[in-house]
């Protein structure tokens, strides 16, 4: 069964209580459950990983190289300045889909630049939790899973 890794970056563990007007009411557990339910319907497997630490995210991306067909990543604030995460993503051979709950281009100017985008196959942003679901469905379609 094809395996897809979902990576959530810093502060996304606080979803539901953190700025709900921007990020929505759903918790990270709600989003992960929705992704696992969607994956099960399509006979693929999803593993979800969250960390507030840049190095832990780099380690996870490196480990994903031999284990996962594709990566969905919301790198949180690291999106905008982590060259380490960009370099790690560049070493991953399969599709990488960048996700954001909010529309980063409608917000502060420091959020308009994404380093993750430089390594991403594509991206979905601004649709709340639906951004993640569409990323997963996109991978399923792209890989004919």
Please state, in angstroms and as integers, the Cα–Cα distance from residue 49 to each residue in 25, 37, 106, 107, following that order: 20, 16, 27, 26
Nearer residue to ligand DQA within complex by CB, 5 or 104: 104
In which order are the strands placed within the sheet that holds 3-8?
45-50, 3-8, 70-74, 96-100, 122-125
Would residue 23 show up in a list of annotated catalytic residues for this protein?
Answer: yes
Rounded to whole angstroms, the Cα distance separating 113 from 95 reads 21
Asked whether position 52 contacts ligand DQA by CB under 6 A, the answer is no
Asked whether position 104 contacts ligand DQA by CB under 6 A, the answer is yes
For the chain, give percent helix, strand, coil, nearest 5: 50, 20, 35
Minimum Å gap between C-beta 7 and ligand DQA is: 11
| Segment contacting ligand DQA by CB under 6 A, of 48-56, 62-70, 97-105, 135-143 | 97-105
Name which position in 11, 26, 38, 117 contacts ligand DQA (CB under 6 A): 11
Would residue 53 show up in a list of annotated catalytic residues for this protein?
Answer: no
Residues with Cβ < 8 Å from 83, sequence gap 6 or more? 115
Nearer residue to ligand DQA within complex by CB, 2 or 9: 9
Asked whether position 86 contacts ligand DQA by CB under 6 A, the answer is no
Active site residues: 23, 100
Write out the residues near ligand DQA by the rule CB under 6 A.
Answer: 11, 74, 76-77, 79, 100-102, 104, 111
């Amino acid at each position: 069964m094809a395996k897809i890794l979902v990576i959530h970056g810093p502060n996304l563990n606080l979803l539901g209580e953190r700025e709900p007007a921007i990020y929505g009411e759903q918790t990270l557990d709600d989003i992960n459950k929705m992704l696992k339910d969607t994956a099960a319907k399509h006979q693929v497997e999803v593993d979800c990983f969250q960390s507030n630490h840049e190095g832990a995210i780099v380690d996870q991306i490196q480990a994903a190289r031999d284990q996962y067909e594709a990566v969905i990543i919301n790198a949180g604030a690291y999106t905008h300045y982590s060259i380490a995460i960009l370099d790690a993503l560049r070493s991953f051979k399969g599709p990488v889909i960048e996700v954001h709950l909010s529309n980063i281009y409608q917000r502060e100017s420091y959020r308009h630049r994404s380093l993750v985008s430089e390594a991403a196959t594509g991206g979905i942003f601004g649709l709340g939790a639906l951004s993640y679901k569409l990323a997963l469905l996109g991978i399923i379609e792209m890989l004919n899973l």
